C-alpha cells in the first residue's frame, strides 16, 4: 500500500503483550494497541499510500479520540468513552479490557485476529462481553481494506444513555484529511462537508486530500468508512465533523436511550477503505457495491 515501488509483499506481523503490529521496513502499516496505552484498545496507525498515518490517535483537542476506537459514554451510568472525568465532574469511568486472542491471522498479505474483551465498571463488575474481529487485506497496491466486526453481549440488563459519545467504532482522522485541514468530505448520497453529512443517512462517508508523502512525492489519498448493509438501522445516520471525528454507528445521539436485556447480543460491522485518489478516482461507490454484494452472498450462504 505504501507507494514506493515495493508494495506490501514484505509485510510482517509482530505481536507482543501490548501491540499487534503489521510492519513493512520502517513503516507501521497497522498498529493496534490492546493493553497499557489507554483504558481501551484502539488502532493508532493505518497507513496510506503516502506512507503517512490516516488517523490521529491522540489529538490535542480530544485526547480520548484514539485513532479508531470503541466506546460509549453512558452504559448503566458508566462512561466507556472518556479516559478521565471531565474537569469538575465525578463521573465513573469504565475500562474495556483485552482478555486474549482466540485466533491470529498471519498470511501476508492478509492479517487479523479475533479478540475477546470485557467492558468493566470501576468496581470490576463486567457489563458487556465483546468479541472483536479485525481483518486487514493488503493484496492490492492501490488500496487496502480493514474489516471490523464486534458482537456485544449484555452480561446484565443494560441502559444506554442518550449521548453523542457513541463510537462502535469511531474514527478520528489525521488532521490533513479533515475538512478543516484542507480535505474533502463526501457521502454516498452526494452530501459534501459536515453541513450536508452530519445527521444524514448514508451507506458510506469518504475523506480525501492532496498531501506530501514521506519520500516527498505528493499524493491524493483517502479513507472511506462503510456501513454494513446488515447493521441495525442501515443506512446509519452519521456523526461526522469537519474537524475530524467520525462515527459510522447510528448512536444514541440520534436514536435516543435504549436498553439490552441480559443475554441479548448486538453485532455491528464496518469496512475501512484506504485508497489512492479521491472518492471518484478510487470508485468508492463501486467498492461499496462490491462490499454490499459480498455481504449479501454471505448472508445467503
Q: What string of pLDDT tens digits covers the 301 residues of the chain?
A: 544 444 445 789 999 999 999 997 678 999 999 998 889 999 999 999 888 999 998 887 788 788 899 999 999 999 999 887 776 677 899 999 999 999 999 999 999 999 999 999 999 999 999 999 999 999 988 899 999 999 999 999 999 988 888 888 999 999 999 999 999 999 999 999 999 999 999 999 999 999 988 877 888 999 999 999 999 889 999 999 999 999 998 777 777 778 999 999 999 999 999 999 999 999 999 999 999 986 555 554 4
Looking at residue 268, what is its pLDDT?
Answer: 94
Measured between alpha carbons, how far is 137 from 147 in angstroms, rounded to an integer?
A: 8
Q: How many domains, the chain?
A: 1
For residue 179, count other CB atoms closer than 10 A to its CB.
21
Q: Is residue 121 part of a domain?
A: yes
Measured between alpha carbons, how far is 133 from 152 in angstroms, rounded to an integer?
A: 12
DSSP state of 18: S
Decide: 131 and 262 in contact? Cβ < 8 Å.
no
Q: Is residue 269 part of a domain?
A: yes
Q: Is residue 22 part of a domain?
A: no
Strands 158-160 and 143-154: unpaired
Domain that holds residue 84: 71-300
Decide: 126 and 118 in contact? Cβ < 8 Å.
yes
List the one residue out of 49, 58, 117 whose CA is nearest residue 244: 58
List the one residue out of 61, 62, 57, 60 whose CA is nearest residue 73: 62
Write down the H helix ranges in the chain.
193-197, 252-255, 284-300
SS3 of residue 288 by DSSP: helix
SS3 of residue 289 by DSSP: helix
Site of grid cell 452530519: 198
Q: Is residue 291 part of a domain?
A: yes
SS3 of residue 98 by DSSP: strand
Write down the H helix ranges in 3-119.
none
Cα 171–Cα 184–Cα 193 angle in degrees, nearest 5: 80
Nine cell digits for residue 54: 490516516
Report how far apart, in Å, the C-alpha atoms of 164 and of each of 61, 64, 175, 202, 223 are: 17, 14, 21, 18, 23
Q: Is residue 91 part of a domain?
A: yes
Q: Is residue 63 part of a domain?
A: no
Measured between alpha carbons, how far is 96 from 101 in angstroms, rounded to an integer?
A: 15
* β-strand partners of 259: 159
Decide: 279 and 191 in contact? Cβ < 8 Å.
no
Looking at residue 5, what is its pLDDT?
Answer: 42
For residue 265, count other CB atoms closer than 10 A to its CB.
12
Q: Is residue 18 part of a domain?
A: no
Q: Is residue 83 part of a domain?
A: yes
Amino acid at each position: 500500500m505504501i507507494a514506493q515501488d515495493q508494495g506490501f509483499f514484505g509485510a510482517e506481523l509482530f505481536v507482543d503483550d501490548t501491540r499487534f503490529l503489521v510492519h513493512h521496513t520502517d513503516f507501521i502499516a497497522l498498529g493496534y494497541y490492546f493493553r497499557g496505552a489507554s483504558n481501551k484498545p484502539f488502532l493508532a496507525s493505518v497507513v496510506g499510500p503516502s506512507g503517512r498515518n490516516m488517523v490521529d490517535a491522540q489529538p490535542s483537542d480530544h485526547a480520548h479520540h484514539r485513532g479508531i476506537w470503541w466506546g460509549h459514554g453512558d452504559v448503566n451510568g458508566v462512561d466507556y468513552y472518556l479516559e478521565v472525568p471531565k474537569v469538575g465532574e465525578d463521573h465513573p469511568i469504565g475500562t474495556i479490557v483485552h482478555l486474549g486472542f482466540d485466533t491470529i491471522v498471519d498470511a501476508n498479505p492478509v492479517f487479523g485476529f479475533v479478540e475477546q474483551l470485557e467492558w468493566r465498571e470501576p468496581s470490576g463488575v463486567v457489563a458487556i462481553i465483546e468479541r472483536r474481529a479485525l481483518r486487514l487485506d493488503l493484496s492490492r497496491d492501490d488500496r487496502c481494506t480493514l474489516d471490523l466486526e464486534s458482537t456485544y453481549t449484555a452480561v446484565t440488563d443494560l441502559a444506554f444513555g442518550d449521548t453523542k459519545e457513541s463510537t462502535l467504532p469511531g474514527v478520528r482522522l489525521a488532521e490533513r484529511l479533515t475538512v478543516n485541514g484542507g480535505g474533502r468530505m463526501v457521502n454516498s448520497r452526494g452530501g459534501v462537508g459536515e453541513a450536508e453529512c452530519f445527521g444524514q443517512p448514508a451507506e458510506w462517508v469518504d475523506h480525501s486530500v492532496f498531501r506530501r508523502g514521506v519520500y516527498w512525492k505528493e499524493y491524493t489519498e483517502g479513507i472511506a468508512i462503510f456501513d454494513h448493509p446488515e447493521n441495525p438501522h442501515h443506512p446509519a445516520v452519521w456523526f461526522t465533523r469537519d474537524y475530524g471525528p467520525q462515527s459510522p454507528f447510528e448512536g444514541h445521539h440520534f436514536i435516543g436511550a435504549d436498553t439490552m436485556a441480559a443475554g441479548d447480543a448486538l453485532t455491528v460491522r464496518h469496512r475501512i477503505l484506504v485508497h489512492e485518489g479521491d472518492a471518484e478516482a478510487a470508485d468508492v461507490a463501486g467498492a461499496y457495491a462490491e462490499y454490499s454484494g459480498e455481504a449479501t452472498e454471505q448472508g445467503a450462504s
